[in-house]
């Protein structure tokens, strides 16, 4: 009798504790979901230039909040006279603010060959939540096509671009340069900085054996 009463009491306590935990964390979960749904969370951004206009392509996650599902990825491109105008157009089209907090990659296109990349990239350092550790890479391919291929061949956790960017150093001597490192190296005494060149070919993306070398933010001939 006593043992049964104790067992019943413990069951009631367990139910009460479980309910208390659920009540405590439910507002937080709802807030997190609302925050995600109110923002376009970028995982990568690509920047190119043609005819004095910037071509900006962003990759973002699509969250479905299915406990057994995985977020999908999509990319969007806008063309404008400035990068900020292109981002504003993307934000307007999606109906949500852009968040840079998960942006791990900045891909630069060959149309920027005559551009001072320090001046181009410095504004990203002051964008709210933008990671200074985001990896910079260069491509001579069409950036939108690179993003499309990355999404197609990546696994459920990340696109192929992000998989390449996660390696800070590789055994063949290629070094992934972060935004912070690029700015620091470009402002050093010799001003030398290097960026890996990635290539899209036959439905795959590879980190090539080539690099571009820059001095004070400008590509060397």
Higher pLDDT, 71 or 208: 208
| Banded model confidence at residue 57, pLDDT cuts 50, 70, 90 | very high
Task: Give pLDDT tens digits for 141-196.
Answer: 999 988 888 877 765 456 677 777 765 444 444 566 889 899 999 999 999 999 98
The pTM of this model reads: 0.78
Distance separating alpha carbons of residues 125 and 106, to the nearest angstrom? 12
CA distances from 53 to 59, 76, 78, 79, 147 (A): 20, 16, 10, 6, 20
Asked if 168 and 175 count as a contact pair (C-beta separation under 8 A), the reply is yes
Task: Give pLDDT tens digits for 14-53.
Answer: 545 554 454 444 444 333 444 445 577 888 999 999 999 9
CA distances from 116 to 17, 191, 194, 197, 217 (A): 60, 12, 14, 18, 5
Per-residue confidence (pLDDT) for residue 3, from 0 to 100: 52
Per-residue confidence (pLDDT) for residue 45, from 0 to 100: 94
Per-residue confidence (pLDDT) for residue 23, from 0 to 100: 47
Higher pLDDT, 111 or 43: 111
Task: From 100, 120, 92, select the one nearest 193 (Cα to Cα).
Answer: 120
DSSP labels for 47-67? EEEETTEEEEEEEEEE----T
Least confident of 64-68, 97-101, 161-165: 64-68
Per-residue confidence (pLDDT) for residue 168, from 0 to 100: 46
Per-residue confidence (pLDDT) for residue 92, from 0 to 100: 92
State the chain's mean pLDDT as an integer: 78
CA distances from 179 to 14, 86, 120 (A): 50, 20, 11
Interhelix angle 117-125/83-94, nearest 10 degrees: 50
Which residues have CB under 8 Å from 169's CB, separation 6+? Answer: 175, 176
């Amino acid at each position: 009798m006593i043992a049964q009463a104790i067992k019943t009491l413990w069951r009631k306590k367990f139910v009460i504790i479980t309910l208390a935990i659920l009540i405590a964390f439910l507002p937080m979960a709802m807030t997190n979901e609302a925050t995600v749904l109110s923002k376009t969370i970028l995982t990568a951004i690509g920047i190119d230039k043609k005819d004095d206009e910037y071509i900006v392509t962003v990759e973002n996650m699509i969250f479905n909040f299915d406990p057994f599902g995985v977020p999908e990825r999509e990319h969007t491109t806008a063309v404008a006279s400035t990068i900020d105008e292109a981002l504003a157009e993307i934000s307007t089209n999606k109906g949500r603010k852009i968040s840079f907090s998960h942006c791990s990659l900045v891909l630069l296109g060959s149309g920027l060959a005559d551009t001072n990349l320090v001046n181009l990239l410095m504004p990203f350092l002051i964008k709210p939540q933008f990671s200074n550790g985001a990896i910079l890479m260069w491509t001579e391919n069409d950036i939108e096509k690179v993003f499309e291929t990355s999404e197609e061949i990546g696994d459920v956790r990340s696109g192929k671009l992000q998989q390449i960017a996660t390696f800070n150093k590789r055994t063949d001597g290629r070094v992934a340069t972060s935004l912070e490192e690029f700015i620091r190296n470009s402002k050093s005494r010799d001003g030398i900085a290097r960026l890996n060149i990635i290539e899209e070919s036959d439905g795959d993306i590879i980190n090539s054996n080539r690099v571009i070398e820059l001095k004070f933010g400008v590509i060397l001939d």
